[in-house]
Each structure stands twice: as structure tokens, then as C-alpha cells.
A and B are shown apart, each in its own frame.
Chain A
Amino acid sequence: DAKTTQPPSMDCAEGRAANLPCNHSTISGNEYVYWYRQIHSQGPQYIIHGLKNNETNEMASLIITEDRKSSTLILPHATLRDTAVYYCIVRVLYGNKLVFGAGTILRVKS
């Protein structure tokens, strides 16, 4: 599975959009981009995943560049409860395992 690069930390004001970038320049054509988050001392939570088209669900939006070498997770109206570590993972669909990198610590501040 391709490697991903994320900034170690980001701050965001409560109520504003949080835009979390991820670089995956070696992504293969059959690999999807997955996002999970982990709130302190809890298990990870699935957020969203996509292949090449932009995706949106009740939690977030995923914007993937046309060359698929990077993506951005958007939390449209961040709240204090969105403070967590966000992981961007690249993997083939129905792949056997999720491999977590270092992730981005998102701190939402009031």
C-alpha cells in the first residue's frame, strides 16, 4: 500500500472549516484514500473514503486531486468534539488490513 504524508498538527477555530491535507504521491490506480480519526483514548472511527471523485457524507467531505497524488479532508463546521488525531490511509478496496501512519493532531479551539 502507498505511503501517506500528513502534517503533524493543525489548529482550527470552532465553527470554522477544518481542512486536513494528505499527500499520497505513490498511490496506485486501484488504491482508495481512507480517513479515520481517533479521539483520545478511544478506538479509531471511520470517516470517509474515496477513489477519485469527491465524496461527502454526514461527517465530512473528501476532495481528491485530479492526479490523485493528494487529498483534503474537510470538516465543514468544526466543533470542540472534533479534536482528535486524523489518519489518512491508502489501501486497495477490500484490502486485508489498515496500516496507520502518524496522522495529524487537529486541535479545535473556542
Chain B
Amino acid sequence: GAVVSQHPSRVICKSGTSVKIECRSLDFQATTMFWYRQFPKQSLMLMATSNEGSKATYEQGVEKDKFLINHASLTLSTLTVTSAHPEDSSFYICSARGPGPDTQYFGPGTRLTVL
């Protein structure tokens, strides 16, 4: 099946710094990518939908100025957590709409820890 990668898999940063997470579709082109956040023992929460070449659509309650999403190519979307704080520590997962009928493939996730 189609593969989605994320980089880095883990990141630890100091409070106040910005962190960029990359999501790549390795063997297919993805016009639409999604970003989720998951806190411990909770379900995935959709943060935003990213379409190649256009602005991302954010879910209610997600600060677009804090979570910057760029989808500049058909195989890459990035999520930048700006001025990260300890409460932003979470598991961030991307997914990409793939080839074939109604398929969506998920990346392995990035664990962010803000000290």
C-alpha cells in the first residue's frame, strides 16, 4: 500500500521555540493532507485539512497562527508549531488522501515534547 512518512519521529524542544514537522507521501501524489493531534489516552483530534497550493482549513478551536501548515507540493506538507509551550506536547499525526477509491493513509506520527 501507499506509504506516508513523517519527520522527525520524536522531537524535544524548549518552551518558546518553533518546531517543524514534515509529512511526505512517498509513492503517490496527495492533493489533500490532514493533520491530527493526539493526547495521551485520548483519540485523534483533527486539526486541519491541507490542500496543495491553497490555504489550510482549520478545525474550530485550532489556532492557525500557532499551527502553521504549508502544503507546497503534491508530496509534502509541513506543520510548524510556533512558540511551543508544554501544553503543545502531544503526538502529531498526518494523513494523506491516496490513490484508489477513497483511501486515506496515515503517517507513523511525531511525538513532540516541550520542556
Q: Are A43 and B106 in contact (CB under 8 A)?
A: yes
C-alpha gap A83/B34 in the complex (Å): 25
Q: Are B102 and A44 in contact (CB under 8 A)?
A: no
Q: Helix, strand, loop or mixed for chain B's interface? A: strand
Q: Are A46 and B44 in contact (CB under 8 A)?
A: no
Q: Are B102 and A43 in contact (CB under 8 A)?
A: no
Contacts of B111 in A (CB 8 A): 41
A43 touching B103 in the complex, CB below 8 Å, given contacts A97-B34, A100-B44? no
0/1 per residue, B46-88, Cβ < 8 Å to A?
1001000000000000000000000000000000000000000
Contacts of B106 in A (CB 8 A): 43-45
Least Cβ distance of A71 to chain B in Å? 17
C-alpha gap A97/B106 in the complex (Å): 13
- Chain B residues 32-52 with CB under 8 Å of chain A are 32, 34, 36, 43-46, 49
- Chain B residues 86-115 with CB under 8 Å of chain A are 91, 93, 95, 101-109, 111
6 of the cross-chain contacts (CB-CB < 8 Å) are A43-B109, A44-B95, A44-B106, A97-B46, A100-B45, A102-B43
Task: List 9 additional contacts besides A44-B93, A98-B104; criterion CB under 8 Å.
Answer: A41-B109, A43-B106, A46-B103, A87-B43, A93-B102, A97-B34, A97-B49, A98-B95, A100-B44
Interface, chain B (partner A; CB < 8 A): 4, 6, 32, 34, 36, 43-46, 49, 91, 93, 95, 101-109, 111
